[in-house]
């Protein structure tokens, strides 16, 4: 049987849409997507657990529901575990996440003989249910700032004097608190587990008896300084492989296990009339690419509006960036506060009004991989028609299928349109004179 030339032509057309992963390509405004927003605009973190994205914030509102932890379904927001059984519906303090759980502190109040009595709790969300860790008896939730599992124990950090100042380890499921050596001499704001090492950052000058300015590492038995440290407490910390990145108000540095490297020449807050302050408040890493967000107008010598990418060599913008609302001077909620990578997408949370050239409310994402093939698996349906599987579409999005005998501009003709809900087989007629038939999808 002789196959119409449409099959060969369609294969050629589809192959040109492929993007080779692993290569950093320029991000444009076309790569940004506006999603079902967070209308409260107060996302502080976007943790990923079990390949699912969550949003954290005080009284988040998304998809018409409000909660301190929302779960992204791919198209809308829901409450993990259901509102009636969530223990963090009213009071919640976010401490962080690891591969096993997302951690929160909460409290309840009851009437005591001599006034109100505060009962403190520390809960974990596993992705399947809530658990009380039993570790809230020694802490007021407001004084903890970070928590992660490490070496069979929980690492709990913050600004507190007891049971052990600022940083403690406790056995999973039991309130048996232990120090890490002689600890650190000031508040700890950030912790990150990388392999067998625990990195900590905060307002301290010593880790154990070793000078360690604002950052140090615990290897399970000893403290070690990271070079000369920092001149101020870092705002954000993220790891990629064996590399550790720390961000301050106007710079990002990488620790490779031996020394620090400053990435580029720092960040700028802009000229008169710009943001009242600036800083880098969120980071996310994938391979050699590092993404940073906050409040700034330039990354190094590259203009970049509140979000930028480091590709291992230089900074670049992500299209025209994201617009942040400045309603209250020096309110650190008015910024890009959260970044997270899941699949081919970088998700962005904060007080956002625009992502690329698209309006948004508090939440958006950028496609890092570029356009996906939508028309796949061409098959001959009849001598005069060819079939395609339409997949990788956005649920609820309307698409138009167009055909042409040439790929020159202005000659495409609408064949059909439909709303994508699931992979669909489409049949398209081929050219009656057995010439080439080109097929493409267009979204309004």
The residue among 379, 365, 432 whose CA lies nearest residue 11 is 379
DSSP string, 312-370: SS-EEEBTT-EEE---STT-TTSSEEEEEEETTEEEEEESEEEETTEE-SSEEEEESS-
pLDDT confidence of residue 29:
92
The residue among 176, 189, 100 whose CA lies nearest residue 137 is 176
Residues of the chain with CATH 2.60.40: 5-16+373-442
* Dist. CA 247–CA 234, nearest whole Å: 6
* Dist. CA 177–CA 427, nearest whole Å: 66
Cα distances from 327 to residues 245, 287, 305, 349, 356, in angstroms, run 30, 36, 17, 17, 21
Are 4 and 386 contacting, i.e. CB atoms less than 8 angstroms apart? Answer: yes
* Dist. CA 134–CA 175, nearest whole Å: 7
5-16+373-442: CATH, from 2.60.120, 3.10.110, 1.25.40, 2.60.40: 2.60.40
* Dist. CA 72–CA 43, nearest whole Å: 13
Residues of the chain with CATH 2.130.10.10: 29-367
Cα distances from 155 to residues 166, 269, 282, 342, in angstroms, run 11, 35, 21, 26
Cα distances from 390 to residues 3, 331, 370, in angstroms, run 21, 46, 17
The number of C-alpha atoms within 13 Å of 393 and in the hemisphere containing its C-beta is 25
pLDDT confidence of residue 433:
66
Cα distances from 353 to residues 38, 236, 360, in angstroms, run 11, 23, 5
For residue 161, count other CB atoms closer than 10 A to its CB.
Answer: 8
Max distance between CA atoms of the chain, in angstroms, equals: 93
CB crowding 34-66: b at 16 or more within 10 Å, else e? bbbbbebbbbbbbbbbeeebbbbbeebbbbeeb
Q: In the chain, count H helices and then E strands.
A: 1, 42
DSSP E strands, 151-276: 153-158, 167-171, 177-178, 188-194, 197-202, 206-207, 210-211, 215-218, 223-225, 236-240, 243-247, 252-255, 260-262, 267-268
pLDDT confidence of residue 210:
95
* Dist. CA 120–CA 142, nearest whole Å: 10
pLDDT confidence of residue 440:
79
Phi and psi based region of residue 288 (left: phi greater than 0; alpha: psi -120 to 50; beta: remaining): alpha
- Class of the 29-367 domain? mainly beta
Query: Which sign does the torsion angle of CA 217, 222, 223, 226 carry?
Result: negative
Which neighbouring-strand residues pair with 437? none
- Which of helix, strand or coil describes residue 6? helix
Taking the chain (444 residues) in consecutive chunks of 10 residues, what is each chunk's mean pLDDT?
Answer: 33 33 72 92 94 93 92 93 70 89 84 70 90 78 87 89 84 74 94 94 95 96 95 93 91 94 86 60 94 93 94 95 67 78 95 93 91 68 80 79 74 85 84 72 70
∠ CA 247-229-170 to the nearest 5 degrees?
A: 85
Cα distances from 350 to residues 46, 112, 152, 294, in angstroms, run 10, 40, 34, 9
* Dist. CA 29–CA 297, nearest whole Å: 17
pLDDT confidence of residue 11:
34
Q: What are phi and psi of 143, to 5 degrees?
A: -95, -5
pLDDT confidence of residue 16:
31
Are 208 and 200 contacting, i.e. CB atoms less than 8 angstroms apart? Answer: no
pLDDT confidence of residue 388:
81
CB crowding 115-144: b at 16 or more within 10 Å, else e? eeeeebbbbbbeeeebeebebbebbebeeb
């Amino acid at each position: 049987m002789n196959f119409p030339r449409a099959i060969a032509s369609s294969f050629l057309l589809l192959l040109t849409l492929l993007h080779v992963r692993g290569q950093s390509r320029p991000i444009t405004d076309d790569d940004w997507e506006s999603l079902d927003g967070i209308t409260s605009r107060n996302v502080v973190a976007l943790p990923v657990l079990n390949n699912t994205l969550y949003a954290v914030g005080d009284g988040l509102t998304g998809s018409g529901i409000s909660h301190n932890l929302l779960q992204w379904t791919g198209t809308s927001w829901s409450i993990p575990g259901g509102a009636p059984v969530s223990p963090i519906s009213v009071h919640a303090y976010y401490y962080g996440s690891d591969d096993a759980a997302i951690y929160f502190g909460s409290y309840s109040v009851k009437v005591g003989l001599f006034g109100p009595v505060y009962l403190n709790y520390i809960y974990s969300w596993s992705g399947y249910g809530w658990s009380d860790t039993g570790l809230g008896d020694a802490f007021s939730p407001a004084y903890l700032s970070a928590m992660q599992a490490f070496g069979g124990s929980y690492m709990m950090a913050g600004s507190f004097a007891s049971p052990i100042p600022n940083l403690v380890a406790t056995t999973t499921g039991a309130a048996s608190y232990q120090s890490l050596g002689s600890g650190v001499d000031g508040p700890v704001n950030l912790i990150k587990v990388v392999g067998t090492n625990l990195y900590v950052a905060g307002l301290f000058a010593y880790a154990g008896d070793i000078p360690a300015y604002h950052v140090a590492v615990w290897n399970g038995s000893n403290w070690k300084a990271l070079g000369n440290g920092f001149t101020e407490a870092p705002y954000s910390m993220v790891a990629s492989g064996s590399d550790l990145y720390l961000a301050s108000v106007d710079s990002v540095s990488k620790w490779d296990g031996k020394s620090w490297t400053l990435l580029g020449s720092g960040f700028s807050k802009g000229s008169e009339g710009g943001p009242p302050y600036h800083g880098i408040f969120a980071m996310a890493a994938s391979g050699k690419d590092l993404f940073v967000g906050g409040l700034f107008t330039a990354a190094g010598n590259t203009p970049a509006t509140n979000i930028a990418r480091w590709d291992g060599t230089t900074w670049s913008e992500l299209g025209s960036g994201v617009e942040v609302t400045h309603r209250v001077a020096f309110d650190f909620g008015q910024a890009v506060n959260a970044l997270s990578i899941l699949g081919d997408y970088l998700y962005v949370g904060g007080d956002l009004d625009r992502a690329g050239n698209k309006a948004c409310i508090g939440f958006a994402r950028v496609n890092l991989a570029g356009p996906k093939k939508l028309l796949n698996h061409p098959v001959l349906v009849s001598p005069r028609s060819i079939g395609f599987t339409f997949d990788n579409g956005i649920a609820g999005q309307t698409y138009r299928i167009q055909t042409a005998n040439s790929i020159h501009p202005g000659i495409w003709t609408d064949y059909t349109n439909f709303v994508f809900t699931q992979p669909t087989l489409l049949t398209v007629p081929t050219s009656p004179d057995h010439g080439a038939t080109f097929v493409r999808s267009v979204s309004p």
